[in-house]
Amino acid sequence: MANKQSAGVFAAVLWLAGVFTLGVYLPGLPPEKMKIDDLPVELPQVTKPELIQDQSQAKNIIEVSRDIPKDFNYLIKLYDQLAPFNPKRDPHLTAEQIERFITAYDAYAAEMKNFKKNTIGERPGVQAVFAYYGMIHNYHRVVKMRAQLRVDMTDEEADWIRDRIMEAALFAVLSALEDHQYESEEQKQHLESLRVNLYTVIGAFKNNEKEEPIPVPEKFNRFAVPRSNIELFLDYYYRPNRSGINWTKIHFNRPTLIQFNRETIMAKAANNPP
């Protein structure tokens, strides 16, 4: 029995190594070049059911991926019709821009989450994981474009809005750290993590010799952030019954909710532009 199990594992490893060597699952590979060979019939019965189920799941994922080029070509035609984004001379945000940004991000996040749940589930096999990560880069591009088209938003506008939001968020986080606006060590660590992530998002960090990220002053002047942007951030950063500001790994309510003191933060912004 042990020999049969070892043979089954070895055969499965060889199969995976073969398809990976051929580039079947390389991230970003054009979907039309993705394929899966049939499961070797000589696999021992002891491992065959699991491998068959795993491979079937992987095949389903790849079949879904075959629609990506068609979807992308359709969406890019609509995207190219959007008016070019011409950023204002001043960096002032509006509530309407933030609402659109949140709407687009929520649509993107929901579709990506549902896709992952419906394709690889909670306990995917190795082959399904390879298939999923082999096509997710292209799928992400389609989902992102579809979400932004819901609100007529170009990449340039999305990036501009994101950076203005994160600059205001960074002002609030730095103020909270300076004034010890936290109730526990966990909240302090969360603020420190937010500080690093926000500096990174707006590209205002560089590495020193010890590879510790340090701010680049010329890329972020906290006292140049408009007060109105800071107020909008405080309005939107966390709303219990509605979507709040979120972006990739930046979560203002995980692992613990940060309670910003609006009065103190706005007092620090008293000399900032209106």
Q: What is the pLDDT of residues 109-141, one digit of tens each?
A: 889 889 888 887 777 777 788 888 878 888 889
Contact 97, 168 (CB under 8 A): no
Cβ count within 10 A of residue 60 = 15
Closest by CA position to 273, among listed 124, 171, 191, 120? 171
**Helices (DSSP H) in 125-261: which residue ranges?**
126-149, 155-178, 185-201, 227-236
- 272: helix, strand or coil: coil
Token duo for residue 10: 């070895």
- DSSP code, position 247: B
pLDDT at 20: 42
| pLDDT, tens only, 58-71 | 888 888 888 888 89
> What distance lies between CA 253 and its chain's CA centroid?
16
Beta bridge partners, 207, equal 213
Q: Which amino acid is at 222?
A: R
In angstroms, rounded to a whole number, what is the distance separating the alpha carbons of residues 242 and 239? Answer: 5
In angstroms, rounded to a whole number, what is the distance separating the alpha carbons of residues 125 and 54? Answer: 5
Q: Which amino acid is at 232?
A: L
Residue whose structure tokens are 């490893």:
13
Phi-psi region of 180 (alpha: psi -120 to 50; beta: other; left: phi over 0): left
Ranges of residues in the chain whose predicted pLDDT is under 50: 1-2, 4-27, 36, 41-46
In angstroms, rounded to a whole number, what is the distance separating the alpha carbons of residues 196 and 213? Answer: 8
pLDDT at 230: 96
Closest by CA position to 205, among listed 195, 214, 192, 218? 214
Token duo for residue 146: 């579809």
Closest by CA position to 252, among listed 179, 198, 184, 205? 198
3-state helix/strand/coil string of 234-247: HHHCCCCCCCCCCE
- DSSP code, position 215: E
Q: 255: cis peptide before it, omega within 30°?
A: yes
Whole-model pTM? 0.77
pLDDT at 18: 43
Token duo for residue 157: 């506008």
pLDDT at 270: 96
The terminus-to-terminus CA distance of the chain in angstroms comes to 76
In angstroms, rounded to a whole number, what is the distance separating the alpha carbons of residues 12 and 7? Answer: 9
In angstroms, rounded to a whole number, what is the distance separating the alpha carbons of residues 205 and 256? Answer: 25
Contact 11, 33 (CB under 8 A): no
